[in-house]
């Protein structure tokens, strides 16, 4: 990370990515895309971790981002499996169609 | 930080319950393909052994209190209390599950393994002394729970429940993680005590707004897991759709563990800004009670009703969290223990009554249960009366301690509104009793078999615990009082 | 140690036995267990009281610490003083008699073992309520008797009306309990204890509150609890409906014991009330209003149990009037005598209903005095007792109350006297309609078995001589000093005359034949057609004679206030709650993206509040 780029830029980029992830979750209609939005949010967090870690001259933040990646991978495995069973049972990936439990 | 790659034995002892649970869960997964169909319940017995071993491990760990793995974990009374509670909920859930899995012809090792993994995650959460450990424990517990909620792959309700739980859960966890990242950036640490030290020192506390913002982001994550308003929307759908024993588990175990980390983080790390988060908690506690109780009034599906009731009870516990005092923490701990018993007991009746494919889950289906199976109906009545908070049940003392703590903390309005809420709640719980005893038996009770031995054991144990805690609350309260933080 | 715990534990054992194995036991064994336990409990009370001697000071037994948290320390402690002694004797004594009676009354009913299990459980909670040495233990009994009352009202659960009545009772009582709970919290915050001894010791040196203050608030909140349990305005509505339960239940719970728990609680808290004259005034006025209102409604009812139910409400009003004017001893005196004669009235009514195979309508009765002479004879004893004819039970206690009321405010005395006349009137009306004239029903009346009229005979003796024999105010004098000044004979004579007048008017209207009715009716002109059916004659009497009072009470108080206003409020609240629930449910659309939007909005709100609050605070 070249020192000429100030910390705040990374943080702002991270916030924008996180916001995009949130927005994506709320507006996209395909379950896979919604799931990818969550991944985007997690990666935005990773960016913050790395930036802070660099700023603080610590290695901890880097380690944290690895943890987050591992957890995200586990989540992806389980999540895609769940999405697959939903698709098998309903033959659709439109998130709005999965709304029979309500009120 | 000294680099030591081989941990000291005492650290492993402090980590014993998690280790034992993981070993047993892995063993079950290895043995699963080696076990014949129809013999799978033996893996469940193995899981039970694993849970008992974990309880023993928790006792051994409690005898060697202290930190482990470079301050990542902290074994104190608080952690021990919640470890026991998680394991206990696991045992009760397991006992309910035997009959359920047999009935649905879905007995397999992975169910038991997932249950153990989820409990291992909860044990990590409650003994974590550090934000990243909290996150990892939370995810271990959650990922296993996501699968459990959708355990019956071919059941549409299970699918939907799992999908909602998974998507929204991950969504909320991302907020939590973002908060953790910020607090790490501000304080340079993820250790709770260190964060507290930095935040309480005004001179070195920079970016004041960002501290509030990161506390808020973490609040979203925790509030979601404990189903506090306005983040409770997922709970009714998930609990309704998931298999009944899993709903029992989700609304008692992971919820208690989430409350544990909620309490630990806000009472240690965010102690310096207590006045600010108290206001948010106040509003959230009130909104949670109102949403839970009023929405429950209109439910006809008993699982959904219990889901809303679980939201309402989370609201009462939040009142205790809002007090931000030691007796408030003790009251919350007592309430969570009491709630675990009555809730698992109530869901055990639902598990028993719903029958294959969960066909009978409407309140009206219970009509005449009082005549057909008086014992089951009486035990369910005990749980419902305890939900209401009638004296001589655990629920009474749970509410009593919480509202007393709230009064001591001068939360007079919250107390009054909370008591009014619990008066509203009496209505929908009583409705179930009225249906059971005072309605003409419906055909749905005609072919009801007597409860399976596992479910019977859960019912009697939970009812006994509910009544014992209603008469001798001090047995648990003393433990909680000593273990409460600060 | 006197082993006070045995007193409630015996009925509890009966409940446990009958509740678990009762279904498999023969009926005789169930009855034996059910009756033996209250009787043993009664004997134990007698033994305890005789060995405790004069009981000038309270005797306390401490068993174990129940709750200990911070400053709060509550033990399971039982206490006996003279007030407790009186209540114990009434509860176990009358309770035993009613259990005995119920053996005969319920002999042919389904769920026999269940009924007696509940009845014994009720005894356990009632005795806990009376014996408890702190407000929390009392509350345990208080909630417990409410639960049993709920279970027993709904005993005939296949009848929808019974189930509804049970639910109504429970819900109305919750409102009262809410007040009681708040009073407990206030007390704890203020005094740091809920022990009777400690609370009263803390209150005693406090100055009397001449304007509203803390003690007034506590006293009023406690009274809110009492209005629920003891069926006072505005929470009395559940009691008449509670008559859906079997008649022994009406006698035991809804006449003799449970409903007087509120009076006991107020008398027990006398120290608090004496420091809050404003609250006393409220108690007196509510009591008096309830007495009048319920008496007027009682006049109009045709269901024999409803008449007595409204009468119970009215008599409870008298007891609160006594407490409100400071005559706590007189209030408890009336609790005792009322337990005698009202239990007798209900059990006698039960005997009549039993004889007529379930008929409760007074218009379907008549002329029964020759057919069921024993029942008639014992009911006559209750009749003279409630009408306040000297020297029978009701006379003594009612007189004490009226004199105390006169001492407080003369107008209260006069209202009380009018109520006494109405009381005598409606009971006489019920008696005349039931036992005199021609039999108007279609059943074949038969006398009840000995096991039923035996207890009635004992209660009859108590109704006749109990008031004279048990001078409760003298016994309670160490707790509640006797009022100075003698009995003013003129006032006594007026109240007795009111009773006699009530009986006389009823006699003229219901026994001396319809000539008078015709003339009154024709005097009224064309308002009402003369109704030829003789069942409707007394309706005409009612309309003609008691119209100024009755019509107002029936159409305005009963229809509008009771059914319209109070039920309306209860229903309105329910509708509102459902509305709120409906709105909340609308948010629960089932759509994941929708939920995510909520989570996002919520997090923005929390972010704004916490971010700005922290920033602003620093």
Which of B223, B217, B483, B461 is CA-nearest to residue B348?
B461
**Residue A83's closest chain B neighbor by CA?**
B163
Residue B2 inside a domain? The answer is no
Residues of A in Cβ contact (< 8 Å) with C593: 25-27, 29, 34, 95-96
Whether B216 and C610 lie within 8 Å, measured CB to CB = yes
In tens, the pLDDT along A13-66 reads 999 999 999 999 988 889 999 999 999 999 999 999 999 998 888 888 899 999
Residue B15 touches partner A, C-beta closer than 8 Å: no
Mutate to test the interface with C, among B165, B166, B216 (most CBs of C within 10 A): B216
For chain A, list the contacting chains (3+ Cβ pairs, <8 Å).
B, C
Shortest CA gap B99–chain C (Å): 26
pLDDT at B426: 84
What pLDDT does residue A2 have? 52
Residues of chain C with C-beta less than 8 angstroms from the C-beta of A99: 589-592
Q: Is residue B448 part of a domain?
A: yes
Residues of A in contact with B184 (CB under 8 A): 49, 52, 60-61, 64
Give chains near B: 3+ CB pairs under 8 A: A, C
Q: From the list C588, C593, C597, which residue is nearest A103 (CB)?
A: C588
* Record: contact B166-A78, CB cut-off 8 A: yes
Nearest to C563 by CA among C216, C246, C168: C168
Tell me the nearest-neighbour CA distance from B185 into chain A, angstroms: 5
Does B475 reside within a domain? Answer: yes
- Please report whether residue B133 resides in a domain: yes
pLDDT in tens, C86-104: 999 999 999 999 999 998 8
Count how many residues are written for chain B.
486
CA dihedral B31, B34, B40, B44 (to 10 degrees): -10
Question: With an 8 Å Cβ cutoff, are C599 and B220 in contact?
Answer: yes
Q: Which of C158, C612, C618 sits opposite B440 (nearest CB)?
A: C158
3 state SS of B130: strand
Average pLDDT of every residue of chain C: 82
> Comparing C-alpha atoms, which of B312, B322, B317, B324 is closest to residue B281?
B322
CB C341 within 8 A of CB C458: no
Supply the pLDDT for residue B408.
Answer: 84
- Does the beta-carbon distance from A95 to C593 stay under 8 Å? yes
Q: Considering only the C-alpha atoms of chain C, give the largest distance between any 2 of them, rounded to a whole number of Å.
A: 92
- DSSP states of B272-331: GGHHHHHHHHHHHHHHHHHHHHHHHTT--BHHHHHHHHHHHHHHHHHHHHHH-SHHHHHH
Q: Is B343 helix (H, G, I), strand (E, B) or coil?
A: helix
Searching chain A, which residue's CA lies closest to the CA of residue C593?
A: A26
Closest Cα of chain B to C468: distance in Å? Answer: 40
Report pLDDT for B229: 83
- In percent, how much of chain C has pLDDT > 90? 29
Give the pLDDT of residue C535.
26
- At B197, list the tokens: 């030290």
The band of C344, judged by pLDDT with boundaries at 50, 70 and 90, is very high
Closest CA to B290 of B331, B220, B229: B229
Contact with chain A for residue B143, Cβ under 8 A: yes
DSSP state at residue C365: -
Count CA within 13 A, CB hemisphere, residue C478.
9
Q: What pLDDT, on the 0 to 100 scale, is given for residue B15?
A: 92
Residue C461: closest CA among C121, C93, C123: C93
Name the domain count of chain B: 1
How far is residue A47's CA from residue A66's CA, in Å, rounded to a whole number?
A: 11
Mutation target to probe the C interface, by most C beta carbons within 10 A, among A28, A96, A101 is A96
Per-residue pLDDT of chain B (486 residues; tens, 9 = 90+): 455 667 788 888 999 999 999 999 999 999 999 998 888 889 999 999 999 999 999 999 999 998 888 889 999 999 999 999 999 999 999 999 999 999 888 888 899 999 999 999 999 999 999 999 999 999 999 999 999 999 998 888 999 999 999 999 999 999 999 999 999 998 888 999 999 988 888 665 556 778 888 889 999 999 999 999 889 989 999 999 999 999 999 999 999 999 999 999 999 988 888 888 888 899 999 999 998 988 888 888 999 999 999 999 999 999 999 998 888 999 999 999 999 999 999 999 999 998 888 888 898 888 888 888 888 999 999 999 999 988 888 998 899 889 888 988 888 888 888 888 888 888 889 889 888 887 788 787 888 888 899 999 999 999 999 999 988 888 888 888 888 876
Report CB contact under 8 Å: A75, B143.
Answer: yes
C-alpha closest to that of C181 among C221, C235, C129, C131: C221
On whether residue B3 sits in a domain, the answer given is no
Which structural domain range is residue B99 located in?
Answer: 8-483
Asked if B253 and B142 count as a contact pair (C-beta separation under 8 A), the reply is: no
d(CA B341, CA B348): 10
Name every chain C residue with its beta carbon within 8 A of the beta carbon of B273: 614, 617
Indicate the residue of B213, B237, B327 with minimum beta-carbon distance to C607: B213
Nearest to C69 among B167, B327, B390 (CB): B327
Average pLDDT over residues C211-227: 88
A96 lies within 8 A of chain C by CB: yes
Is the backbone peptide bond immediately before B351 cis, with ω within 30 degrees of 0?
A: no
Residue B207 belongs to a domain: yes
Q: Is the pLDDT of residue C614 over 70?
A: no
Closest chain C CA to residue B163? C592
DSSP 8-state secondary structure symbol assigned to residue C561: I
Using the beta-carbon criterion (under 8 Å), do C598 and B327 form an inter-chain contact?
A: no
On chain C, the residues whose CB falls within 8 A of the CB of B477 are 67, 69
Whole-angstrom distance, CA of residue C172 vs CA of residue A73: 56
Question: CA-CA distances (angstroms) from residue C346 to A4, B254, C243?
Answer: 96, 55, 10
Q: Of the ranges B101-115, C57-71, C259-273, C329-343, which one carries the lowest mean pLDDT score?
A: C57-71
C48-71: pLDDT as tens digits = 999 888 888 888 888 888 777 666
CB under 8 Å, gap of 24 or more: what pairs does C353-359 form?
Answer: C353/C247, C353/C304, C353/C305, C354/C105, C354/C448, C354/C452, C355/C443, C355/C445, C355/C446, C355/C447, C355/C448, C356/C441, C356/C443, C356/C445, C357/C443, C359/C441, C359/C443
Is C606 in contact with B219 (Cβ distance < 8 A)? yes
Q: Do A56 and B185 touch (CB under 8 A)?
A: yes
CA atoms within 13 A on the CB side of C160: 0
**B232: in domain:** yes
Cβ-based burial of C16 (10 A; exposed 0-12, middle 13-18, buried ≥19): middle
Hey, is the C-beta of C166 within 8 angstroms of any chain B C-beta?
yes
CB atoms within 10 A of CB B326: 16
Q: Do residues B226 and B318 touch, judged by C-beta distance below 8 A?
A: yes
- Ramachandran bin of B325, using left for φ above 0, alpha for ψ from -120 to 50, beta for the remaining angles: beta
C44 three-state secondary structure: helix
* Lowest-pLDDT range of B310-324, C232-246, C372-386: C232-246
- How far is C409 from A35, CA to CA, in rounded Å? 79
Asked if pLDDT for residue C312 goes beyond 70, the answer is: yes
Q: Is 90 exceeded by the pLDDT of residue C300?
A: no
Q: How far is C453 from chain B (nearest CA, A)?
A: 32
Least confident window among B232-241, C432-441, C569-578: C569-578
pLDDT at C11: 93
Between positions 573 and 602 of C, the ones with CB within 8 A of B are 574, 577-578, 580-582, 584-585, 587-588, 590, 592, 594-596, 598-599, 601-602
pLDDT (0 to 100) of residue B239 = 94
Q: Which of A42, A78, A98 sits opposite B147 (nearest CB)?
A: A78
Question: Which residue in B152, B163, B175, B198 has the most chain A C-beta atoms within 10 A of its own C-beta, making it the best mutation to test that interface?
Answer: B163
Contact present, B216 and B284 (Cβ < 8 Å): no
> How far is CA B279 from each of CA B163, B216, B324, B403, B453, rounded to the nearest angstrom?
33, 12, 11, 17, 47
Q: Between B233, B390, B391, which is nearest C588 by CB? A: B233
Looking at per-residue confidence, does C517 or C293 come out higher?
C293
Contact flag A89-B174 (C-beta cutoff 8 Å)? no
Q: What is the CA radius of gyration of chain B?
A: 22
Out of B51-65, C328-342, C367-381, C486-500, least confident range:
C486-500
| Contact criterion met (CB below 8 Å) for C477 and C81 | no
Do C593 and A98 lie within an 8 Å CB cutoff? no
User: How confident is the model at residue C549, as a pLDDT?
Assistant: 42
Is A89–B136 a contact, with Cβ atoms under 8 angstroms apart? no
ipTM of the complex: 0.95
Domains by residue range for chain A, with CATH: 29-94 (1.10.287.3510)
Question: How distant is the Cα of B231 from the closest Cα of chain C, in angstroms?
Answer: 5
The whole-number pLDDT of residue B31 equals 93
Select the residue from A8, A70, A71, A76 to test the B interface by mutation, using most B Cβ atoms within 10 A. Answer: A71
Least confident of B196-205, C106-115, C128-137: B196-205
The answer to whether A34 faces chain C, any CB pair under 8 Å, is yes
Determine, yes or no, domain membership for B392. Answer: yes
Q: Which has more pLDDT, C586 or C362?
A: C362
pTM (predicted TM-score): 0.69
HSE-CB for C320 with a 13 A CA cutoff:
37
Are the Cβ atoms of C614 and B408 closer than 8 angstroms?
no
Q: Please list every residue in chain A whose beta carbon sits closer than 8 Å to the beta carbon of residue C589.
A: 99, 102
Mutation pick from C21, C191, C584 vs chain B, by most beta carbons of B within 10 Å, is C584
Interchain contact B1–A (C-beta under 8 A):
no
């Amino acid at each position: 990370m070249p020192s000429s780029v100030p910390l705040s830029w990374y943080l702002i980029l991270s916030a924008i990515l996180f916001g995009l992830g949130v927005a994506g979750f709320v507006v996209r209609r395909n379950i896979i895309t919604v799931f990818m939005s969550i991944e985007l949010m997690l990666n935005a967090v990773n960016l913050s971790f790395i930036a802070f870690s660099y700023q603080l001259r610590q290695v901890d933040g880097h380690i944290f981002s690895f943890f987050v990646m591992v957890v995200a991978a586990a989540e992806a495995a389980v999540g895609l499996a769940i999405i697959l069973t939903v698709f098998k049972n309903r033959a659709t990936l439109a998130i709005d169609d999965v709304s029979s439990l309500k009120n | 930080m000294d680099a030591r790659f081989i941990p000291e034995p005492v650290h492993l002892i402090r980590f014993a319950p998690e280790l034992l649970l993981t070993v047993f869960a892995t063993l079950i997964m290895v043995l699963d393909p080696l076990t014949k169909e129809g013999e799978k319940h033996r893996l469940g017995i193995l899981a039970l052994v694993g849970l008992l071993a974990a309880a023993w491990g928790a006792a051994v760990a409690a005898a060697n209190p202290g930190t482990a793995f470079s301050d990542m974990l902290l074994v104190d009374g608080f952690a021990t209390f919640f470890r026991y509670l998680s394991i206990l909920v696991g045992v009760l859930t397991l006992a309910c599950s035997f009959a359920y899995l047999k009935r649905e012809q879905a007995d397999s090792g992975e169910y038991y393994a997932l249950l153990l993994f989820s409990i291992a995650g909860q044990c990590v959460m409650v003994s974590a002394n550090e934000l990243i450990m909290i996150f990892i424990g939370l995810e271990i517990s959650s990922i296993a729970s996501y699968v459990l909620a959708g355990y019956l792959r071919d059941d549409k309700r299970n699918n939907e429940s799992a999908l909602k739980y998974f998507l929204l859960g991950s969504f909320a966890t991302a907020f939590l993680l973002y908060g953790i990242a910020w607090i790490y950036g501000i304080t340079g640490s993820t250790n709770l005590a260190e964060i507290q030290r930095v935040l309480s020192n005004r001179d070195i506390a920079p970016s004041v707004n960002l501290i509030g913002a990161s506390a808020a982001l973490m609040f979203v994550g925790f509030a979601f897991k404990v189903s506090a308003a306005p983040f409770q929307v997922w709970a009714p759908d998930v609990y309704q759709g998931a298999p009944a024993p899993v709903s029992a588990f989700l609304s008692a175990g992971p919820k208690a563990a989430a409350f544990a980390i909620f309490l630990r983080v806000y009472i240690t790390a965010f102690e310096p800004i207590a006045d600010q988060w108290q206001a948010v908690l106040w509003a959230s506690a009130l909104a949670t009670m109102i949403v839970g109780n009023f929405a429950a009034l209109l439910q006809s599906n008993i699982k959904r009703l219990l889901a809303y009731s679980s939201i309402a009870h989370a609201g009462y516990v939040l009142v205790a969290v809002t007090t931000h005092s030691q007796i408030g923490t003790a009251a919350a701990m007592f309430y969570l223990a009491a709630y675990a018993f009555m809730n698992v007991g109530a869901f055990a009746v639902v598990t028993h009554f719903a029958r294959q494919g969960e066909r009978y889950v409407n309140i009206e289906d219970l009509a005449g249960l009082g005549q057909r199976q008086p014992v089951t109906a009486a035990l369910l009545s005990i749980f419902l009366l305890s939900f209401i908070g009638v004296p001589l049940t655990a629920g009474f003392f749970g509410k009593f301690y919480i509202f007393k703590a709230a009064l001591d903390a001068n939360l007079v309005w919250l107390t009054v509104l909370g008591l009014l809420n619990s008066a509203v709640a009496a209505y929908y719980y009583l409705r179930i009793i009225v249906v059971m005893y005072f309605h003409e038996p419906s055909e749905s009770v005609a072919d009801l078999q007597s409860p399976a031995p596992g479910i019977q054991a859960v019912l009697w144990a939970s009812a006994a615990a509910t009544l014992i805690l209603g008469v001798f609350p001090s047995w648990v309260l003393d433990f909680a009082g000593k273990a409460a933080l600060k | 140690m006197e082993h006070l715990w045995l007193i409630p534990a015996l009925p509890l054992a009966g409940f446990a036995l009958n509740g678990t194995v009762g279904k498999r036991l023969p009926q005789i064994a169930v009855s034996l267990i059910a009756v033996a336990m209250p009787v043993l409990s009664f004997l134990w009370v007698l033994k305890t009281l005789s060995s405790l001697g004069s009981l000038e000071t309270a005797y306390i037994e401490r068993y174990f610490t129940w709750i200990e948290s911070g400053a709060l320390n509550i033990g399971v402690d039982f206490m006996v003083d003279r007030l407790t002694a009186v209540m114990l004797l009434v509860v176990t004594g009358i309770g035993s008699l009613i259990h005995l009676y119920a053996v005969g009354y319920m002999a042919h009913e389904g769920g026999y073992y269940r009924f007696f299990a509940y009845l014994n459980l009720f005894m356990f909670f009632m005795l806990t309520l009376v014996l408890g040495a702190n407000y929390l233990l009392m509350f345990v009994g208080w909630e417990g008797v409410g639960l049993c009352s709920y279970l027993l009202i709904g005993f005939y659960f296949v009848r929808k009306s019974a189930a509804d009545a049970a639910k109504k009772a429970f819900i109305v009582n919750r409102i009262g309990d809410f007040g009681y709970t708040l009073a407990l919290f206030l007390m704890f915050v203020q005094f740091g204890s809920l022990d009777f001894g400690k609370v009263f010791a803390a209150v005693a040196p406090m100055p009397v509150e001449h304007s509203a203050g803390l003690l007034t608030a506590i006293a009023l909140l406690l009274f809110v609890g009492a209005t629920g349990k003891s069926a006072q305005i505005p929470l009395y509505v559940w009691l008449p409906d509670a008559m859906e339960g079997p008649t022994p239940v009406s006698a035991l719970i809804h006449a003799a014991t449970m409903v007087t728990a509120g009076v006991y609680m107020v008398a027990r808290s006398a120290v608090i009330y004496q420091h809050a004259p404003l609250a006393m005034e409220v108690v007196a006025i509510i009591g008096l209003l309830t007495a009048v209102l319920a008496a007027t409604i009682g006049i109009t009812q045709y269901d024999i149990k409803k008449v007595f139910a409204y009468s119970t409400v009215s008599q409870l009003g008298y007891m609160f009037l006594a407490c409100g004017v400071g005559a706590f001893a007189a209030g408890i005196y009336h609790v005792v005598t009322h337990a005698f004669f009202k239990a007798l009235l209900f059990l006698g009514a039960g005997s009549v209903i039993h004889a007529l195979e379930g008929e409760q309508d007074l218009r379907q009765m008549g002329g029964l005095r020759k057919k069921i002479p024993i029942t008639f004879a014992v009911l006559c004893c209750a009749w003279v007792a409630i009408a306040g004819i000297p020297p029978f039970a009701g006379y003594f206690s009612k007189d004490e109350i009226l004199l105390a009321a006169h001492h407080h405010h003369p107008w209260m005395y006069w209202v009380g006297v009018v109520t006494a006349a109405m009381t005598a009137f409606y009971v006489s009306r019920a008696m005349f309609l039931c036992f005199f004239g021609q039999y108007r029903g279609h059943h074949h009346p038969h006398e009840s078995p000995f096991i039923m009229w035996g207890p009635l005979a004992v209660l009859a003796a108590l109704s006749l001589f109990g008031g004279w024999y048990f001078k409760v105010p003298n016994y309670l004098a160490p707790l509640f000093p006797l009022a100075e000044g003698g009995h003013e004979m003129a006032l006594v004579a007026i109240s007795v005359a009111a009773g006699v007048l009530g009986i006389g008017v009823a006699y003229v209207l219901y026994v001396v034949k319809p000539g008078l009715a015709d003339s009154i009716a024709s005097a009224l002109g064309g308002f009402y057609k003369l109704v030829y059916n003789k069942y409707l004659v007394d309706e005409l009497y009612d309309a003609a004679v008691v119209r100024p009072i009755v019509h107002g009470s029936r159409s305005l108080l009963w229809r509008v206030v009771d059914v319209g206003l109070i039920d309306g409020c209860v229903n309105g609240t329910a509708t509102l709650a459902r509305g709120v629930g409906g709105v909340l449910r609308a948010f629960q659309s089932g759509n994941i993206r929708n939920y995510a939007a909520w989570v996002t909005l919520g997090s923005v709100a929390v972010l704004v509040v916490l971010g700005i609050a922290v920033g602003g605070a620093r």
